[in-house]
Structure 1
Amino acid sequence: MVRFENVGLRYGMGPEVLRDVSFDLPANSFQFLTGPSGAGKTTLLRLLFLTLKPTRGLIHTFDQEVSTLSKHALAETRRRIGIVFQDFRLLDHLTTYENIALPLRVQGQDEARYRAEVVELLHWVGLGERMHVLPPVLSGGEKQRAAIARALIVRPELLLADEPTGNVDPALARRLLRLFIELNRSGTSVVIATHDESLMELFPARRLRLEDGHVTVQEPASWS
């Protein structure tokens, strides 16, 4: 699904923050992206989401070499990817329902076609009773679930999540992890950036460890 080949990234004339990064993301896979704070996990997610271009090296996404894509093709490819931001990025003047439906509205879809799907997803993430409230009324955990639902509503082939359990209690973190596992079982590849060792121990998934600008891949059998 995704392949990095000797990818390097620097900002301006500064030193490279990522160096010779090479790895594959297989279709229907689940992996944790881990490493110390400041290692560049968010930067790597931005490369995966195609909002950053590498300074050198190649990135292949859905069998396409990213640097050769036109702006239109790049936007079309990005629509196949969902992302959950660390700061939620919900719009305070829209209800929970409207925030989740927003990607479909932007695509120009008719609400009559997607309303039932949005409501079903709201119930699936445990927000069925909160669909008509505004984000300032939601708890941190509810905002996180709304952000996840917004990413899922486009039925992405690849879902990226940046520290999705960083601001919730352990019980809710386990619940959110179960949501990601169920999504993966339905056919979506999942990458969760986290430094939470206790969370990663709950599910024997592949780990991409980012440290000193390099990525090493740890398969579950190597640390079981």
Structure 2
Amino acid sequence: MVRFENVGLRYGLGPEILRDLNFEIPAHSFQFLTGPSGAGKTSLLRLLFLSMRPTRGLINLFGRDVSLLSKEEMATLRQRIGIVLQDFRLLDHMTTYENVALPFRVTGRDEASYRREVIDLLKWVGLGERMDALPPVLSGGEKQRAAIARAVIARPHLLLADEPTGNVDPTLGRRLLRLFIELNKSGTAVVIATHDINLMDQYEARRLVLHQGRLHVYE
């Protein structure tokens, strides 16, 4: 599904923050992405989401060379990827329900075909009473759960999550992890960036470890 060959990334004229990345993410796989603060985990997720281009090297995503894609083609590929970033990126003028339903709306689906699915997922993540609330009045944990629901609602081929359990209590964190695991069982490849060693130790999964700009893969 994803292949990196000798990928490097730098910002401006600064030193490379990611260098010589060579790894693959198989279809239907589940992995944790970890490493110390500042190691480049968020930057790697942005490369995977096509919101950044590498300084050098090859990224092949869904069988396509990313460097050859037009903006329109990149936008189409992004529809196959769900992402949860730490800034959540909810649209403040839309309700919680409308934010979560957005992946369906942009593809032109009729609301009657997805309304029950969106409502059920919002209830499952504990936002059943907040469906009509706008993001500015949500707590940080509520925003995070809304962002996660939006990322998984359309069952993407690839899910990227940056510290998805960071703002919730341990019980809800485990519940969200079960959501990711069930999504993985249905065919989605999952990459979860986290600092939480205890969380990772609860699950058998590949570990992608970033250290000093390089990636090490532990099966």
Letter in 1 for 2:111: E
Aligned to 2:29: 29
Q: Give me the whole-angstrom Cα distance separating, in 2, the residues matched to 1:186 and 1:126.
A: 22
Q: Deviations over 1:116-171 (max 9, x none)?
A: 22123223323233322233443333222211111112321000001111222222
Q: Give me the whole-angstrom Cα distance separating, in 2, the residues matched to 1:45 and 1:199.
A: 19
Letter in 2 for 1:12: G
Q: Give me the whole-angstrom Cα distance separating, in 2, the residues matched to 1:67 and 1:92.
A: 33
Q: TM-score, normalised by structure 2?
A: 0.94
Identity percentage over the alignment?
74
Q: Deviations over 1:53-95 (max 9, x none)?
A: 1111101111111111122211111110000111222233322
Aligned to 1:86: 86
Aligned to 1:146: 146
Q: Give me the whole-angstrom Cα distance separating, in 2, the residues matched to 1:171 and 1:125.
A: 12
Aligned to 1:99: 99
Aligned to 1:133: 133
Deviation at 1:110, TM superposition (A): 2.4
Aligned to 1:66: 66
Q: Give me the whole-angstrom Cα distance separating, in 2, the residues matched to 1:49 and 1:158.
A: 9
Deviation at 1:27, TM superposition (A): 0.6
Q: TM-score, normalised by structure 1?
A: 0.92
Q: Secondary structure at the match of 2:129?
A: helix
Aligned to 1:49: 49
Name structure 2 gaps, 5 residues minimum. none
Q: Secondary structure at the match of 1:161?
A: strand
Contact conserved, 1:7 with 1:21, CA < 8 A, in 2? yes
Contact conserved, 1:141 with 1:172, CA < 8 A, in 2? no
Letter in 1 for 2:215: V
Aligned to 2:175: 175
Moved more, 172-181 or 20-29: 172-181
Q: Over aligned residue pairs, what C-alpha RMSD do you find?
A: 1.5
Q: Give me the whole-angstrom Cα distance separating, in 1, the residues matched to 2:199 and 2:59.
A: 29
Q: Give me the whole-angstrom Cα distance separating, in 2, the residues matched to 1:195 and 1:142.
A: 21
Q: Give me the whole-angstrom Cα distance separating, in 2, the residues matched to 1:29 and 1:86.
A: 23
Q: Secondary structure at the match of 1:23?
A: strand
Q: Give me the whole-angstrom Cα distance separating, in 2, the residues matched to 1:84 and 1:52.
A: 16
Aligned to 2:113: 113
Q: Secondary structure at the match of 1:130?
A: coil
Moved more, 134-143 or 90-99: 134-143
Aligned to 2:216: 216
Q: Secondary structure at the match of 1:183?
A: helix
